[in-house]
Structure 1
Amino acid sequence: MATRLLKRTGVSMDVCEQLKRHQIESCKDLLSLSPVEVMHAAGMSYQKASVLLRTVSRAVAPPVTTALELWKQHSCFSTSLPALDKLLRGGLPCGTITEVTGPSGCGKTQVCLMLSVLATLPKSEGGLDGGVIYIDTESAFSAERLVEIAKSRFPGYFSSKEKVLQMAGRVHLFRELTCQDVLNRLDRLEEDIIATGASLIILDSVASVVRKEFDTTLPGNLMHRSNLLGHEASTLKYLAHQFNIPVVLTNQITTHVGGQGSDGESGLVTAALGTTWSHSVNTRLIVQYVDARQRQILIAKSPVAPFAVLNYTIEKQGICIDTDDSQETLYEGTDPGLQPIRVLTGFNNLTTSVDCTDRERPESGTVNFLKPAHNFN
């Protein structure tokens, strides 16, 4: 990828240092120059400058692979939820982006915390035996809750304080509260992955800072937002593929103007950021309400899994699939960008329609999302 640092493409450190004096640090910086410009900046001959450009160009070009190679490399990250793993044919696919979207209080952050614990576990325990890079844009991360999930879900393994501390030390938290901060972090993420030995990247949430900073009713903002999201998606896809690790994002909800809710009212609650963004993720899991305590996971988009629904609750040990269901419930799928999402507008009232004038900020309308029965965010 063009944002890769030159020193990660085999360019000698002496040349990298020489180019850095001219603010040329990434492949993109170099490839935007002509051979003559590179010759002057690097202090080398025209022939060597041309060779350098070809070498860096080949390094960032997408590699050609066969279906057989992909088949052999296929690996998944188990969610520790057997019913969900079965549908996803092993779990969350490594090397791809998985999005978890849904209304506030449905457990998106709980999923992220649970996956963070799982990633640090040894491979013999079903984990990835690596670190976690957790980018928090909503200040929703809770170290206390992370430890609680670890000790409650795996009491045998986390029976000693030493293992709990080791787990917590492998989860690297970055709080990025603006779009520029998130972009800067993503551009440095390749080095962070190497330094921390990360085997999982979490961005919670992708929509938060974008929706706060971009008013899409103003001219030009929608295009700028689309460009920013496209840059984020391409960077994360590259990192997921380059290191063959899973990337998990959370997303918020919005009102699809012109849609029809189940009660016939206009305004359908769907995932935020639009249809174009929905096609940037490889797997989309939607979480929604059934009632004040019970929730559902919908597989809305997957290259391997059918459209399916699983009921779950949020417990002390994290997400728990309802074992009373003998099998998963299949449903008729639709465009993942228009999949209706159920929210709670009252203690006994489920709806897919909301009265909201701001289609990019449904939380500012008349919807009152219920907090979970357990006091988990």
Structure 2
Amino acid sequence: MLANSYDIWIEENKQPTIATLCKDLDQAIGKGISPGIITELCGPPGSGKTQICIQLCANVQIPTQLGGFGGKALYFDTNFGFHPHRLKEMATACTQHCRNIVETLRKDLSEDVEGFTAEIIMENVYYKYISDSSSLIEELDTLENLLKAGEKIKLVVVDSLSFLIKCNTENSLERLEVDYTILTKLHVLAYRYKLAVVITNDCTTRINPSNSTDSTVVPALGECHSHKINQRIVLGAINEEQPGIFIASIEKSLFRPRSSIKFRITEAGIRRVRKN
């Protein structure tokens, strides 16, 4: 039976999103990181990619009574970027954020957040180090079996997909084939099980073939890869005079036009830059 676009729109609007806890970023991409699609965080080292991924692992667990997913996260780490201590800091701040909301706006939900602790958040973030692309493909098949069995994973992170592919493929054709195989599997899981997929990508230098001295910094993995992702957020530091302040540029989105916003990386996690 065919579904009409209105019914699809209604169904999508019922789905919660994963808040980043940076209000400006959430608004720039809709309402937060959406389920059912692949979101790519792209940028050079130190631009905040892993920080946002860890933040999302905590935020995906915000109780449904507060508009969250109440789900679990699965973190595939290819470059040893994940740090449980950092997750603990963000998880602690996330639970306090939820308690503040309840105390000021929804005291009737106080019992619902009593068991929402940093320790519970950490227990609900599954971690797996991935050393090669074939291992990731196998793990995605295992993940599908877990989801079929009712596992409440609602966020899958691959950090970093570009590092994995570049380090384990010998030529561009093989790289493209592996990339498409992984992204296709992620697309199917995201759509079928209504979970959010977040991947990270590095930057590379593209040389102008007609002028060897002319170059631009672009996302790695190429143009064909760009067609397989649904949303791209390019991250970068602003300047040395504003440490801890970063910029997020929405370069591709299903929901919003191109835009750029500033955000902070604090001890508590990802937060907005307040205007003076």
Distance 1:147 1:290, change over 3 A: same
Q: Deviations over 1:194-250 (max 9, x none)?
A: 4531011111111111111224xxxxx211111111111110000000011111111
**Is residue 259–residue 268 contact of structure 1 (8 Å, CA) maintained in 2?**
no
Output the CA distance in 2 between the equivalents of 1:291 and 1:320.
18
Distance 1:300 1:107, change over 3 A: same
In structure 2, what residue type is equivalent to 1:291? N
Q: Deviations over 1:303-334 (max 9, x none)?
A: 22111111122110112221217xxxxxxxxx
Q: TM-score, normalised by structure 1?
A: 0.63
**Is residue 231–residue 254 contact of structure 2 (8 Å, CA) maintained in 1?**
yes
Matched, 1:311 2:262: yes
Structure 1 unaligned regions, length at least 5 = 1-62, 216-220, 326-377
The Cα shift of 1:66 comes to 2.2
Count of paired positions: 256
SS in 2 for 1:112: helix
Matched, 1:206 2:144: no
**Is residue 100–residue 251 contact of structure 1 (8 Å, CA) maintained in 2?**
yes
SS in 1 for 2:216: strand
Distance 1:132 1:315, change over 3 A: same
Instruction: Indicate which of 223, 238, 242 corresponds to 1:275.
Output: 223
Which residue number in structure 2 is paired with residue 266 of structure 1? Answer: 214
Which residue number in structure 2 is paired with residue 40 of structure 1? Answer: none
Q: Deviations over 1:23-75 (max 9, x none)?
A: xxxxxxxxxxxxxxxxxxxxxxxxxxxxxxxxxxxxxxxx8532122111113
Rg (Cα) greater in structure? 1
Q: Deviations over 1:142-161 (max 9, x none)?
A: 11110101113442558989
**Is residue 102–residue 271 contact of structure 1 (8 Å, CA) maintained in 2?**
yes
Matched, 1:123 2:77: no
Which residue number in structure 1 is paired with residue 193 of structure 2? Answer: 243
Output the CA distance in 2 between the equivalents of 1:290 and 1:243.
37
Q: TM-score, normalised by structure 2?
A: 0.85
In structure 2, what residue type is equivalent to 1:208? F
The Cα shift of 1:165 comes to 1.6
**Is residue 78–residue 126 contact of structure 1 (8 Å, CA) maintained in 2?**
no
Output the CA distance in 1 between the equivalents of 2:26 and 2:237.
21
Q: Deviations over 1:318-354 (max 9, x none)?
A: 12221217xxxxxxxxxxxxxxxxxxxxxxxxxxxxx
Matched, 1:163 2:120: no
Output the CA distance in 2 between the equivalents of 1:162 and 1:321.
24
**Is residue 90–residue 267 contact of structure 2 (8 Å, CA) maintained in 1?**
yes
Distance 1:179 1:290, change over 3 A: same
| Structure with the higher fraction of residues in helix conformation | 2
RMSD: 2.4
Instruction: Give the structure, 1 or 2, with the largest relative contact order (CA under 8 Å, sep 6 or more).
Output: 2
Matched, 1:84 2:25: yes
Output the CA distance in 2 between the equivalents of 1:324 and 1:135.
36
SS in 1 for 2:27: helix
The Cα shift of 1:265 comes to 5.0
* Sequence identity (%): 25
**Is residue 257–residue 266 contact of structure 1 (8 Å, CA) maintained in 2?**
yes
